[in-house]
Amino acid sequence: MLPETASSKSEPALSLTNFEVKDEELPQFRDMRFENINELHLDHPGASDEDYRRRRDYIASLSKNFRETGAITDVEYTEQEQAIWRIVATRLEEIQSRRASAFYLDAKEKLGISTERIPQLSEMNKRLNKLCNFRLAPIEGLVETRGFLSWLSYRTMLCTQYIRHHSRPEYTPEPDIVHEAIGHIPNFTNCDFADFSQFIGHGARIATNEQLEELGRLYWFTVEFGLVEENGELKAYGAGLLSSFGELENAFTDNVERRQFDLEQVINTPYDYSDMQPILYVIPSYSYLKETTRKYIESFNEK
């Protein structure tokens, strides 16, 4: 997510009890603002690779089609891109077998996510919609925080379709299909987590700038870098952990302070996305996270 400053207090009060979103209730995607989608920074591994940049532009054009048609266009990934996926997914799977939640590992199977090939958003979208009424929508790259989070209120996750540069398969400075498919998407098969995400989206639509910063921290320490208690053990569920070799191993070492989840503390804890995370928060369950967040978002309408 990218930072942004525009307030959206003109949004009406939102109900936090209706978890069903029908296709006809979705806003027109082409009417949403995406002016802050980033170009590749000079320090990006693929910044000086013209072939990679052209490929990124092509995949971005497929993502843009969704805004007009509402249909996800499959990407015909190259053999090089498939090879990158196999390298990353295979190594992550070994670590995840020890560190990821059992729910997450089961969810990957339900969605057909394997080490053999890059999954298509269209395939995962169909399965996800049947499981928890959640959707995926392709996007070219990073978007501003409010715009990104607001789409969660429609039970829709904006996802990239490109893959990281071949020179650094273990690293990406931005979300890619590895981060989306291996990190984020499996969690939405848990309906409590899907509902929690929808609450975050509701909050983003009505939050003041200060509240939006708090939501960003809540998102960071849960969706991206969350731990959960599972049968007496600590397991990873955050996408930033599950899609990173280094972060996933580091999360369970003495380098990290693991704290019990406290909402007030979480929304006031700063973070640095450019380094290994020194602090992680542990939730007792997804249902606890859902209910705690619901009460927090309800307070937005009272201020």
pLDDT score for 252: 98
Q: Is residue 116 part of a domain?
A: yes
Mean pLDDT of 221-240: 98
Is the confidence at residue 9, as pLDDT, over 70? no
Q: Which of 62-66, 173-177, 187-191 has the highest mean pLDDT?
A: 187-191
**Does 108 fall in a domain?**
yes
CATH number, domain at 147?
1.10.800.10
Q: Where are the alpha helices (DSSP H) in the chain?
A: 50-69, 79-99, 102-110, 121-132, 145-150, 177-178, 191-206, 209-219, 239-242, 245-250, 263-266, 286-298
pLDDT > 50? residue 7: no
Task: Answer yes or no: 41 catalytic.
Answer: no
Q: How far apart are CA 87 and CA 259, in angstroms?
A: 33
**Best CA proximity match to 78, nearest among 100, 56, 60, 98:** 56
Instruction: Indicate the number of domains in the chain.
Output: 1
Residue 104 lies inside a defined structural domain of this protein: yes
User: Which pLDDT score is estimated for 70?
Assistant: 86
Q: Is 150 one of the annotated active-site residues of the chain?
A: no
Q: Is the pLDDT of residue 2 over 50?
A: no
Q: Is 1 within the bounds of a domain?
A: no
- Could you say which of 81, 140, 180, 224 is catalytic? 224
Among candidate residues 140, 150, 153, 184, the one labeled active-site is 184
Q: In the numeric block, which tokens belong to residue 10?
A: 């003109």
Look up 48 and say whether it is catalytic.
no
197 part of a folded domain: yes
Contacts of 76 (CB under 8 A, 6+ apart): none
Active-site pick, 63, 153, 197, 243: 243
Domain-embedded: residue 42: no
What is the percentage of the chain residues whose pLDDT exceeds 90? Answer: 74
- DSSP category for residue 26: S
Structure tokens that stand for 35 in this block = 């002016």
* Least confident range of 29-33, 42-46, 292-296: 29-33
Q: What is the CA radius of gyration of the chain?
A: 18
Q: What confidence category does residue 259 fall into, taking pLDDT thresholds of 50, 70 and 90?
A: very high
Q: Which domain holds residue 56?
A: 51-302
Token representation of residue 159: 């996802």
Domain assignment present for 250: yes
Beta bridge partners of 159: 138
34 close to 66: Cβ distance less than 8 angstroms: no
Residue 234 reports pLDDT greater than 80: yes
DSSP 224: I
Q: Considering only CA atoms, which of 215, 41, 270 is closest in space to residue 142?
A: 41
Question: Could you tell me which residues come within 8 angstroms of residue 277 by beta carbon, excluding any fewer than 6 positions away?
Answer: 225, 240, 247, 250, 251, 256, 271
What is the model's pLDDT at position 38? 55
pLDDT at 274: 85
Confidence at residue 8, expressed as pLDDT on a 0 to 100 scale? 44
Clarify whether 179 is annotated catalytic. Answer: yes
Average pLDDT, stretch 82-97?
98
Residue whose C-alpha is closest to residue 120's, from 82, 93, 170, 154: 82
The confidence score (pLDDT) of residue 181 equals 98
In a domain, 40, yes or no: no
Of residues 173 and 158, more confidently modeled: 158
In the predicted model, what is the mean pLDDT of the chain? 89
Q: Of the listed 179, 197, 214, 244, which one is catalytic?
A: 179
